[in-house]
Amino acid sequence: MSPIITVSNLTKDFKEVKAVDNLSFQVNEGEVYGFLGQNGAGKSTTIRMLLSLIEPTSGEIEIFGLNLKAHRKEILKQTGAMIERPDLYKYLTAFENMKLFARLSSVKLKDATIKDQLAKVGLADRANSKVKTYSQGMKQRLGLACALVHNPGLLILDEPSNGLDPQGIADMRKMIQHLSKVEGKTLVVSSHLLSEMEMVADSMLIINKGRKVVEGSVSALLNPEKTEVELITHSANALSFIQNSNWNQFLNQAVGERICLEIDKKCIPVFNKELVENGIEVQSLRPLHSLEEYFLSQTKA
């Protein structure tokens, strides 16, 4: 897979605040690239730099193998974006918004094509209603339709599930999966809904305070050879047992009844057996492998 986006040493300073600090990453063709970080981590700033809405202080961005600064127009012609809330022109209808954004993307579409595209996001029957009468979910779907109106190869979605109800979130997830798996588009998706990202992302980047924490494929990040294991026990001598055994070298932290160790996945049954044999009551013993737990463990660090 060839890289669609290559970001090198990207930095953005807002007066004294370093919003993005020497960030480098790569997005490959056809993948869904998850972009994770806490509020204020620098996700939106990075996404806006990818769309040339914000001028980087330093660093390089290449999209489709072209330098963004030098080939902005060519790149943006092949890029669709939905940034945060898709605030469209509320006083226009969905159809008018679509037509307007198609023209801005240098595409002339027939009315029937626009209607087809609106039908794909379930807005065919409301095509001629003003956007101000839409629900948040409808606006979100229209925003996605507008981002796709010129059939871009790269789609950048900043918090696409924001403000959606569970059904809306599920619909958005299906659309992302469809765009990636069926239509073969490359997607960069930032979201704080970690479970959603876990379900749709192929690769991901976690940033914290503008810096890269970790980058890689979701499967590799969530299923490593070594994993953090959480032990919950009421036994008071559990910690002293671990500290006086070979397991001590894997001990990460112990707070009250919660003890965490980083051990090889294969060793978990052996560890459990030893605990039981030594009279330690095991309430729970499980690997911490959900994205949320992984994210929290990474960003806390």
Partner 1 sequence: MFFAILRIELFKIFKRPRTFISFGAIAIIVLLVQLALKVNGKDFIELYTDSQSDTFYIPYDKMVNGYFVCVAVLHMILIHVPLLIALIAGDMISGEANLGTLRLLGSKPVTRTELILAKFSASSVYVILLLIWMAFLALFGSILLFGKGDLVVFKEMDWHQMNDYDVLWRFFAAFIFAALALTTIAAMAMMFSVFSENSLGPIVATVCVVIVFTIIQQLKVPMFEQTINPWSFTTHMLGWKGFFYVEKSADGTTIDGSIENPTALVRSAMILIGYIVLFLGVTIWYFRKKDILS
Where do contacts with partner 1 occur on this chain (CB under 8 A)? 48, 51-55, 72-77, 79, 81, 83-92, 96, 100-101, 103-106, 146
Q: Which is nearer to partner 1, 14 or 253 (CB)?
A: 14
Long-range contacts for 264-273 (Cβ within 8 Å, ≥24 apart)? Answer: 264/225, 264/226, 265/225, 265/226, 265/227, 268/229, 271/229, 271/247
Q: Which is nearer to partner 1, 189 or 194 (CB)?
A: 189
As measured in angstroms, the least distance from the Cβ of 87 to partner 1 is 3
Q: Which is nearer to partner 1, 91 or 167 (CB)?
A: 91
CA nearest to 83, candidates 204, 1, 239, 189: 189
As measured in angstroms, the least distance from the Cβ of 108 to partner 1 is 9
As measured in angstroms, the least distance from the Cβ of 297 to partner 1 is 31
As measured in angstroms, the least distance from the Cβ of 175 to partner 1 is 19
Q: Which is nearer to partner 1, 83 or 194 (CB)?
A: 83
For residue 163, CA distances in Å to 18, 192, 282 come to 28, 12, 41
Measured between alpha carbons, how far is 210 from 134 in angstroms, rounded to an integer? 35
Q: Which is nearer to partner 1, 88 or 280 (CB)?
A: 88
User: Other C-beta atoms within 10 Å of 129: how many?
Assistant: 14
154-158 vs 186-190, strand pairing mode: parallel
Q: Which is nearer to partner 1, 95 or 250 (CB)?
A: 95
List the structure tokens of 233: 């026990």
As measured in angstroms, the least distance from the Cβ of 55 to partner 1 is 6
List the structure tokens of 147: 């981002």
Q: Is 300 exposed, middle or buried, given 0-12, 13-18 or 19+ CB atoms closer than 10 A? A: exposed
Measured between alpha carbons, how far is 148 from 183 in angstroms, rounded to an integer? 11
Torsion of CA 42, 43, 47, 50, to 10 degrees: 60
* 7, β-bridge pairs: 25, 61
As measured in angstroms, the least distance from the Cβ of 79 to partner 1 is 7
The angle that helices 136-147 and 94-104 make with each other, rounded to 10 degrees, is: 30
Q: Which is nearer to partner 1, 42 or 294 (CB)?
A: 42
Measured between alpha carbons, how far is 154 from 147 in angstroms, rounded to an integer? 10
As measured in angstroms, the least distance from the Cβ of 62 to partner 1 is 17
As measured in angstroms, the least distance from the Cβ of 53 to partner 1 is 4
Q: Which is nearer to partner 1, 90 or 174 (CB)?
A: 90
